[in-house]
């Protein structure tokens, strides 16, 4: 019996300006995205690409910033309705260079970190942020769909 399974690999990155207590957010419009609202930027990992190179590339493409020394801080994952495992590698970066710019993927902006709860955030962003910042947590897992969303756990 094969242990292989079809998988989609993606990443996101919490880019934090520690001096000014702000983070980079990407607004994803509901017209273009099923996961709409403000979210951390990121994207798909290409075939043959390292996880590190993928997050650096995606952040540069979507924000204009080159991140340095991104740290893997957790994983979000679930199975799609088609049975495909969807994995999001969650990174945090506090060292970066360049200037932000928006793309067709979404509007990019610096946001005061304490303002995040007041924004129109993408689904579960505050919970995901908690997992990414809590050194005791490393996985956010969606077990199954239930009537009002998902049954979820953080480990």
Inter-residue contact 56 to 91 (CB < 8 Å) = no
Is position 153 within any domain?
no
Is position 150 within any domain?
no
Is position 30 within any domain?
yes
Nearest CA-CA partner of 102 in 33, 25, 16: 25
| Alpha-carbon distances, residue 136 vs 40, 53, 128, 143 (angstroms) | 21, 26, 13, 20
Is position 43 within any domain?
yes
Is position 151 within any domain?
no
Inter-residue contact 145 to 78 (CB < 8 Å) = no
- Note the pTM of the prediction, 2 decimals: 0.95
Is position 101 within any domain?
yes
Which residues of the chain are modeled with pLDDT < 50? none
- Retrieve residue 49's tokens: 């690409």
Domain that holds residue 63: 5-143
The predicted pLDDT at position 132 comes to 98
Number of domains in the chain: 1
Is position 106 within any domain?
yes
The predicted pLDDT at position 33 comes to 67
Q: What is the pLDDT of residues 111-150, one digit of tens each?
A: 999 999 999 999 999 999 999 999 999 999 999 999 988 9
The CATH number covering residue 36 comes to 3.90.79.10
């Amino acid at each position: 019996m094969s242990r292989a399974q079809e998988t989609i690999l993606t990443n996101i990155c919490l880019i934090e300006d520690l001096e000014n207590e702000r983070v980079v957010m990407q607004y994803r419009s509901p017209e273009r995205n099923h996961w709409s609202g403000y979210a951390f930027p990121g994207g798909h990992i290409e075939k043959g690409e390292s996880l590190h190179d993928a997050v650096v590339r995606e952040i540069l493409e979507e924000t204009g910033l080159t991140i340095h020394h991104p740290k893997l801080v957790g994983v979000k994952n679930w199975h799609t309705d088609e049975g495909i495992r969807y994995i999001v590698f969650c990174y945090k970066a506090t060292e970066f260079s360049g200037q932000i710019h928006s793309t067709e993927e979404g509007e990019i902006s610096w946001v005061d970190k304490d303002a995040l709860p007041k924004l129109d955030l993408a689904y579960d962003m505050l919970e995901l942020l908690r997992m990414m910042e809590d050194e005791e947590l490393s996985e956010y897992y969606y077990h199954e769909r239930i009537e009002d969303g998902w049954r979820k756990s953080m480990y």
